[in-house]
């Protein structure tokens, strides 16, 4: 196994440990068992448990992003049907999102928080620009909706309340759809 | 010291430990040192570290609520100046809020999450009803704003981004103020 592949494999397995047991109940021993390596090998790839944590957070957000983008491929351009699907993916991601919250909230994560926040915002921008392209409208029009959706997703993942999430997401998606529809109408009148 | 007072004192001290070092780096030894008790006394009041965690989460939300309500007392009824003040309190609370996130996100907290979520929503309702009373408008009018404010507060506490928070809060407060002002205008026209 090449080194990068091996490292990524270990990150994936450590991530699963964290998601399952939480940060406070995950030990080096758990990492080694899950990734089938010994502690020497583990700490050949990572300087510390904290570095593993940082890599796992980054991995978790990348995984969410690729899951969302993969789902988009299944839909026709301009189809509003993506909304419930994206919501479901987001809500199903809740246990993993809770690990991400746990990590980012930790005082041990303090020095990495700002950097990860930039990465998360870049991910929201990529998602927003993909949707803008699909719906043939400017990113500026939908930026706030993307933001609101991801903020809510974060909040409901924390509390695990799907019912309340459904109500709030429904409200945003109606606004979002109206914004796009209105924009297109106005644009067609101006042509 | 009466038993309840003593218990509350221990919770307060354990809470401070959690906020400072995170859940994963806080031990029974830290609790004992902070509260100046031995382990026997500590576990006379609490069954487990998990019970301490649950009590600390509840304490943290109650503390936020009383800080917000105390601040309200300093303002005249109907004064929109409360908005920046409440925002500042919320943002200053970020390190504590991050502990609350850390706790609620933990798999160990799973069985308590739903119950705490109900308490948090009841707190939002009390805050919303107090503001409705102050601004002399129906709670239904402002309920969604309270919700949006608290969701954002939660999100920005997580990431610690005050700049981005200021932009978003400003947007909500303008909407909130407009909703109240418009409502009053309409009502006065109908009188």
Residue A188 has pLDDT above 70, yes or no: yes
Residues A121-146: what's their mean pLDDT?
93
Helices (H) and strands (E) counted in chain A, each on its own, are 9, 0
For the record, the structure tokens of A189 come out as 């009148």
Chosen for mutation from A19, A97, A105, A171 (greatest number of chain B CBs closer than 10 Å) is A105
Q: Would you say residue A1 has pLDDT above 70?
A: no
- Residue B35 makes CB contacts below 8 A (sequence gap 6+) with B9, B10, B13, B14, B42
In the 8-state DSSP scheme, what is residue A48?
A: S
pLDDT of residue B120: 95
For residue B160, list chain A residues with Cβ-Cβ distance below 8 A.
113-114, 117
Phi/psi-derived region of residue A160, left when phi > 0, alpha when psi is between -120 and 50, beta in every other case: left
* CB-CB under 8 Å, B21 with A160: no
Lowest mean pLDDT across A72-86, B18-32, B60-74, B125-139:
A72-86
Residue with the larger pLDDT of the pair B97 and A166? B97
The reported pLDDT for the residue numbered A144 is 86
A3-19 average pLDDT score: 95
CA pair distance B121, B134, nearest whole angstrom: 20
Q: pLDDT tens for residues B116-153?
A: 999 999 999 999 999 999 999 999 999 989 988 888 88
Task: Give CA–CA dist B125/A78, Å, rounded.
Answer: 38
Answer yes or no: is pLDDT of A126 > 90: yes
Of B22, B104, B161, the CB nearest to A159: B104
> What pLDDT was estimated at residue B98?
94
Q: Do domains B1-46 and B57-190 have the same CATH topology?
A: no
DSSP per-residue letters across A57-80: HHHHHHHHHHHHHHHHTTS-TT-T
Q: What is the CATH number of domain B57-190?
A: 1.10.357
Q: What does the domain layout of chain A look like in residue ranges?
A: 1-46, 61-190
**What is the distance in angstroms between the Cα of A76 and the nearest Cα belonging to chain B?**
32
Please report the pLDDT score of residue B1 as a whole number.
64
| SS percent in chain A: helix, strand, coil, step 5 | 85, 0, 15
**Predicted local confidence at residue A137, as pLDDT:** 94
Query: The domain B1-46: what is its CATH number?
Result: 1.10.10.60
Q: Give the tokens for residue B111.
A: 């069985």
- Angstrom distance (rounded) from CA B54 to CA B45: 13
pLDDT digits (tens, 9 = 90+) for A21-61: 999 899 999 999 999 999 999 999 999 999 999 999 999 99
């Amino acid at each position: 196994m090449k080194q990068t592949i091996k490292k990524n494999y270990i990150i994936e397995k450590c991530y699963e440990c964290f998601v399952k047991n939480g940060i406070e109940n995950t030990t080096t021993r758990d990492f080694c068992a899950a990734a089938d390596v010994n502690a020497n090998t583990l700490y050949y790839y990572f300087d510390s448990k904290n570095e593993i944590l940082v890599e796992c957070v980054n991995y978790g957000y990348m995984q969410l992003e690729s899951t969302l983008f993969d789902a988009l491929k299944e839909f026709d351009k301009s189809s509003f049907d993506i909304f419930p699907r994206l919501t479901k993916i987001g809500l199903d991601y809740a246990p993993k999102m809770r690990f991400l919250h746990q990590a980012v909230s930790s005082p041990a994560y303090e020095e990495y928080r700002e950097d990860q926040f930039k990465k998360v915002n870049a991910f929201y921008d990529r998602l927003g620009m993909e949707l803008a392209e699909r719906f043939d409208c400017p990113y500026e029009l939908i930026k706030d909706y993307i933001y609101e959706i991801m903020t809510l997703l974060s909040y409901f993942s924390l509390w695990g309340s799907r019912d309340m999430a459904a109500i709030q997401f429904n409200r945003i998606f109606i606004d979002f759809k109206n914004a796009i529809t209105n924009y297109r109408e106005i644009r067609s009148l101006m042509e």
